[in-house]
Structure 1
């Protein structure tokens, strides 16, 4: 039985129209400003007729069967994951090298200005961090955490 336009709409009905409007924004049929205006009107609407007016110029969207293209956008491709891992490794090694360089410069300046030999403490900064990075690089895990695998 089709709902009469003067019949009162429920919160669920308003939520379904809001979800459809979000899909139309994602498809490029509505601008953000148009979406915001219509969304405000959605939650002020009281009847099915008022809700229908907000989407009358838009095609129907079945929210239970969204386009397959949206699914492929959400799933990462394996090749992209490899690129991401390489980028994570490169960033991690760059951070290690920068921190090591700064540590060695501080050690060198401290040793020169104090005038006596100071034990090379930067090795304690570089060593454990570098070993962990090396293990991750060799094992191929890169910047992935346990939750990502």
Structure 2
């Protein structure tokens, strides 16, 4: 049996409907033609009926005629060395640096006004505490 005569599945019909939606968004089909073709796509029983709906749209190549091979993910070799100096976890020096900058801004504004203001950098300290807790909790799990 030829490919065109084979029965199409729901996924095949959905892919054609999605491509028709793209053609509508690109301005290649008007709304009435899109509606007509989508109805035909969902009513199609064979691959031949589906391919006919996309035949006049650019960029549509049937899978069996495609010249592009699927991407293959390759695993790194087992003998590849681990990255030296790489560590997982929060960047503690960066987080602490942000906190210290906030404390300096708070101190300068307080000294400039002549009175001590509300210590708002304490709010910035909350993620620092969580980062430190995560660092020390995970410290035993990581190799040194």
Assess same fold via TM > 0.5. no
Indicate the structure (1 or 2) with the bigger Cα radius of gyration.
2
TM-score bin, normalised by smaller chain: 0.3 to 0.5
Q: State the TM-score, normalizing by the size of structure 1.
A: 0.38
Q: State the TM-score, normalizing by the size of structure 2.
A: 0.40
